[in-house]
Amino acid sequence: MIALLLFYLLLGFNFSFPSVAIRYWLMDTVQVTPAQMAAIFGVISIPWCLKPFFGFISDSYPIFGYRRKPYMILAAYLACFMWMILPFCPHDEFVITFVMTLSSAGMCFADVMADSLLVTMAKKESDKKRGSIQSWSWGLRFLGGLLASASGAVAYENLGYAQVFLLNSMVPVAVAILACFINEETTTTHTNWRETGKTLISAIKQPGIYKPALFLFLICVTPGYGGAMTFFYERELGFTPTEFGMLDVMGHVVSIIGIIIYKKWLRQVSFPKIFGTALVLSFLLENTMLLLVFHVNRQMGIPDYVFAFIERVTITLVGQFITMPMVVLGARLCPPGVEGSLYALLMSITNIGGVVSEEWGSLLTNMFGVSGTNFTNLWKLMLLCHAFDLLPLTGLGLIRKITPETSI
């Protein structure tokens, strides 16, 4: 199990190490607009919407008797190759998006394989330890992100984007090596894809699955404006790569703290109560970002970076109280035989919503005329997005009858 959990550490590191370099490369070298950046990040998230398909393949077609490990190794090397060629790509949005999407697909496939093995272990947990494995996996993922955020910004400032991308290509190689040491039972049977499909469809039809999945989609589908804020921080407020890195570091620290809080005190709280409270708190906190946009914080004597830092801490912490309950519930709902496909389906709902959110946010950014140098209407974009964030509150009834003890 240790080798499997270490995978999540590497996954978190792979995502976060190049994040500062990617943002500055796209803004300063490729010279994309805020809307284009949001659109690019939306497209490269598409493979994470295909997680059920990846899980379906591994459930149905084992390689050399293994359903997960061979796929994990092959997918990791695909991601490695894409990171190696990324710094040498022409500065064309289509080419860059294509290469980054293939890299994303490789790590996504590897993640589905790890999740499938994790779900099998999670279903063997006692009620007393329910959710512990998921908490450990997410905690290590955020720990990897923490280490990467701290080192990634420094690496970018001292080495440049090309070297950062090449260094990041070595992380999937480590994943492939680690996969060789993960324990997985062999199978001599080939699951009929029709039988797998029928079992999966039967599971999806159960209210205990499709209702929380729909609610999860509502949470994630609301439009975002992250790309515009990245430009605002860099162009308007003058944040440096190191300061961006520190924001990311603090985000991961708070995420780990959120996991600990959830594991110790919130696992038994009803889903409507924890989701409803977290959504309202998130709405109230994100609206305080308008103070930063209007520079009211300066009149209060609070520096821009300190204010942004506090905002990142509070909003990230509240966000963890939305993420963790659904992760635990998803694992408990998966019936034997289609763990990989169903768990991947449940988790990919967030990614589908995320893609729609990014593309919707990109469209609204263009509509309001927000660019890399014009932030006049940024506050209007933020207000509209915040209003949409209240939409999931209307779906709390979808999870009212589902308790933390729900299982199939």
Q: Which domains does the chain have, with CATH numbers?
A: 2-183+206-399 (1.20.1250.20)
Which residues, in sequence order, are CB contacts of 357 under 8 Å at separation 6+? 42, 220, 221, 222, 223, 224
Distances in whole angstroms, Cα of residue 372 to Cα of each of 81, 147, 227, 230, 407: 31, 30, 10, 9, 48
Residue showing tokens 């988790």:
347
Nearest by Cα to 4 from 94, 162, 122, 168: 122
Pairwise CA distance, residues 365 & 203, whole Å: 39
167 close to 17: Cβ distance less than 8 angstroms: yes
Which residues, in sequence order, are CB contacts of 218 under 8 Å at separation 6+? 353, 391, 392, 394, 395
Sequence-ordered alpha helix ranges (H) in 169-303: 170-179, 193-204, 207-220, 226-231, 241-261, 271-287, 289-293, 296-299
pLDDT of 132 reads 67
Instruction: Kindly report the backbone phi and psi dihedral angles of residue 218, in degrees, each rounded to the nearest multiple of 5, phi listed first.
Output: -60, -35
pLDDT of 58 reads 83
Instruction: Kindly report the backbone phi and psi dihedral angles of residue 302, in degrees, each rounded to the nearest multiple of 5, phi listed first.
Output: -105, 120
pLDDT of 55 reads 78
Nearest by Cα to 183 from 141, 120, 123: 120
Residues found in the chain: 408
311 close to 289: Cβ distance less than 8 angstroms: yes
Pairwise CA distance, residues 73 & 158, whole Å: 31
Pairwise CA distance, residues 403 & 268, whole Å: 8
Reading phi first (left if > 0) and then psi (alpha if -120 to 50, else beta), residue 402 is in beta
The whole-model pTM stands at 0.83
Nearest by Cα to 288 from 310, 305, 267, 272: 310
Pairwise CA distance, residues 348 & 326, whole Å: 12
Pairwise CA distance, residues 52 & 340, whole Å: 7
Q: Is the dihedral of CA 348, 353, 356, 361 positive or negative?
A: negative
Pairwise CA distance, residues 243 & 111, whole Å: 30
Which residues, in sequence order, are CB contacts of 343 under 8 Å at separation 6+? 55, 115, 116, 119, 330, 331, 334
Q: What is the CA radius of gyration of the chain?
A: 21
pLDDT along the chain (408 residues), means of 10: 87 94 94 93 92 80 86 96 95 94 95 83 61 75 89 94 97 94 76 70 78 86 92 94 90 84 84 90 94 95 95 88 74 62 73 91 95 95 96 90 58
pLDDT of 131 reads 55
Helix (H) / strand (E) element for 93: namely: helix 93-122
351 close to 45: Cβ distance less than 8 angstroms: yes
